[in-house]
Amino acid sequence: MNAPRQACIVGLGETAYVKRGQATEPEYRLAMQAILAAAADAGMPPTDIDGLATFADERSGQSNLAADLGIDELRFAATCAIPGGGGGCGAVAEATLAVETGMADTVVVYRSLCQGQFYRIGRGMAPRQPQTPASPLAESALENEALQAFSAPFGVLGPSIAFALRMRRHMEVFGTTGEHLAHVAVTERGYALSNPRAVMAGKPLTIADHQASRMVADPYRLFDCCLETDGACAVVVTTADRAAGLAQTPIEILAVAQGTHGGNLGGALMHARSTADDYATGGGRDVARRLYGKAGIGPGDIDVAQLYDNFTGQVLLGLEDFGFCGPGESGPFVAEGGLSPTGPLPTNTSGGNLSEAYMQGLNQVIEGVRQLRGQSSSQVGSPEVCLVTSSPAMPTSAIVMARP
């Protein structure tokens, strides 16, 4: 460890992951269970927690959780405002900043998500009925609805459509194919087969299965799309000093970064400032450059990766943005086994959002830690450095972790 306050991940917690609508307990209670499990994994009482961090659209609030967990003093509470799946690593970044600056000593990053109890993600993108403002000073439409005025008339009503447009551009420019996407889905399903936590455990998938599945939003077929799941997960971030006396080997957070260039601001639906060249990328190259610069490493130093995969094409964009492939080279890379256990970059080794569970990527942070601990259900040797990314093609975030 480089310094006494170096941020480390020392605890992991998860509830069971189930298909949307199958959770038997409320989302809030699942959040508490995941946090308690993460504290227990670290070998600490929940009263040692003095910070809670999450990311956009989380319904389980920090102050209520702190009270119900019996926390004596909540010194830090944060919600990364990056929307959707772009903020998972950003929430870990918030915890890292808090721990390393002394604002808190032990911060739990958590995500609870029960689409079956509330609504399906993306359903809210459909146009709503106009509402009369409560005051003449109020805005006439929510920000989200204002953005929809530029997209809904053209049929862009959900994430699958919005993200499919960018991948279709990638195909037109570079010749990427549906079979390239199939290799991402099949490789991740292969990892999930041996993962007892995965919703798709024991359910094999072939290239032929993928190619025969129904089209959702061209070029994305059913198996190009992430799962819809209920559950919760959490990680404990603390200082190197405190980590030394805990139950698990601490995993050092080498660097964090977040953001995007202007062409990606506005989210997946609104890329009015994107150039034609930018539109065939995930917009994360500047984030990658800053991340690697702070960590003092390059893509060649990454042993295992967890690349955000709400859709298969997002993995291709992540490979290119973070320097593992040149522009347009990611399709052939995955088709040649680049993401497999014996490939140059084993990726999404729990099954990811596509085949383990959709916790908007925080479960991929957990899998990265498991790989570095040597505890993964699909362990790939003894990796020393892991990259985790959040959603490309919108404001994003990423972290690099290392085994001490």
Active site residues: 308, 358
The answer to whether the beta carbons of residues 102 and 5 sit under 8 Å apart is: yes
Q: What phi and psi values does residue 41 have, to the nearest 5 degrees? A: -60, -35
Measured distance CA(346)–CA(149) in Å, rounded: 41
The answer to whether the beta carbons of residues 70 and 79 sit under 8 Å apart is: no
Q: Give residues with Cβ within 8 angstroms of 34, minimum separation 6.
A: 13, 14, 15, 110, 112, 231, 232, 233, 234
User: Would you tell me how many other CB atoms lie within 10 Å of the CB of residue 317?
Assistant: 26
Which pair of tokens denotes residue 77?
Answer: 């509470």
- Residue 243: which of 132, 371, 385, 100 has the closest Cα? 100
Residue 210: burial class (beta carbons within 10 Å; 0-12, 13-18, 19+)? buried
Q: Supply the DSSP symbol for 174.
A: H
- Residue 377: which of 338, 337, 335, 348 has the closest Cα? 348
Q: Is 138 helix (H, G, I), strand (E, B) or coil?
A: coil
- Residue 322: which of 357, 351, 347 has the closest Cα? 347
Q: Is 92 helix (H, G, I), strand (E, B) or coil?
A: helix
The answer to whether the beta carbons of residues 253 and 92 sit under 8 Å apart is: yes
Measured distance CA(403)–CA(9) in Å, rounded: 10
DSSP 285-351: HHHHHHHHHHHT--GGG--EEE---SBHHHHHHHHHHTTSS-TT-HHHHHHTTTTSTTSSS-B-TT-
